Amino acid sequence: MSQTTLRKIVIVGGTSAMAQHCARLWVQAAPAHLVLAVRNAAGAQTAAADLKVRSPGSTIEVIEIDFLDPQRIAAFAEQVSRSGVPDIVLIAHGSLPDQSTCQTDLNECRDALEVNGVSPVLFAEAFAGKMQLAGRGTLALIGSVAGDRGRKSNYAYGAAKGMVTRYAQGLQHRLDASKVKIVLIKPGPTATPMTAKLSSQGVAMASVEDVAQSIVTGIDAGKLVIYAPAKWAVIMMIIRHLPRFIFNKMNI
């Protein structure tokens, strides 16, 4: 099968655990041309080799990029769209900052907001324009249930993910009349290296395999919002609507 007949899937943050499991599901379903955007190309080679072993018919391209450079992000979107816009773009990068550190170190706070909020929406904007001109494509952004309501335990991270939520909603509104799909993904706490500290503190975690399956199934089904696991849609609906005098008594 030639590269031109393969579904083109771009994954920004291609070495994250969640992204890797999504990539595995996609290439195991059918060979694809994967473009993994990463901060460190050398560090991504093991992940790329793993995907190639799982799907010899797939092509795996690794591109190193500065995730905070608007010009580089725009050039990356142009580069990978030159031979045709991607069928799917999954924006999956991020970090989990320590809230107490963000409260005392404004550099850490700024980094948390930029990495988890500003950077994902810049990638989204860069690809949304390409897809709109082509009249096709699916753009999926990984937000978080943390973005649904600010909580004292993680409001720096939650604020950044809230930005992703609002931006995705704006893109959905803008592109509603087109054939471009904007998908907002809101995982709950998931067992990945990024959340290892939370897991050690006894926080209940969903398996990354189950969350990835929910993401891939939801994207392929054309869902606009994906809570993963689905139970978080109900949990966050309750949390969003709790009266302030009750919410402020909760240690969350």
192-211 pLDDT per residue, tens: 888 877 777 777 889 999 99
* CA-atom Rg of the chain in angstroms: 18
Give pLDDT tens digits for 95-151. 999 999 999 999 999 999 999 999 999 999 999 999 999 999 999 999 999 999 999
Question: What percentage of the chain has pLDDT greater than the value 90?
Answer: 92
Taking residue 223's Cβ as centre, other Cβ atoms within 10 Å add up to: 17
Number of domains comprising the chain: 1
The alpha carbon dihedral of 120, 125, 131, 137 has a sign of positive
Q: Is 94 inside any structural domain?
A: yes
> From residue 208, how far is each of 51, 58, 229, 236 by CA, in Å?
17, 23, 10, 20
Does residue 163 carry a pLDDT above 80?
yes
CATH assignment at residue 175: 3.40.50.720
What is the pLDDT, as a whole number, of residue 191? 87
| Stronger pLDDT, 177 or 2, i.e. the higher one | 177
What is the pLDDT, as a whole number, of residue 2? 45
| Mean pLDDT (whole number) for 35-48 | 94
The structure tokens 């290296």 sit at: 193
Q: Is 252 inside any structural domain?
A: no
Q: Is 28 inside any structural domain?
A: yes
pLDDT band at 14 (very low <50, low <70, confident <90, very high): very high
Instruction: Indicate the pTM of the whole model.
Output: 0.94
The structure tokens 């249930």 sit at: 145
Question: What percentage of the chain has pLDDT greater than the value 70?
Answer: 98
Q: Is 193 inside any structural domain?
A: yes
What is the pLDDT, as a whole number, of residue 4? 52
**Averaged pLDDT of the chain:** 95
> From residue 126, how far is each of 4, 64, 93, 139, 162 by CA, in Å?
22, 17, 16, 11, 19
Q: Is 26 inside any structural domain?
A: yes
Q: Is 53 inside any structural domain?
A: yes
Range of the domain at 97: 3-247
| Mean pLDDT (whole number) for 52-72 | 97
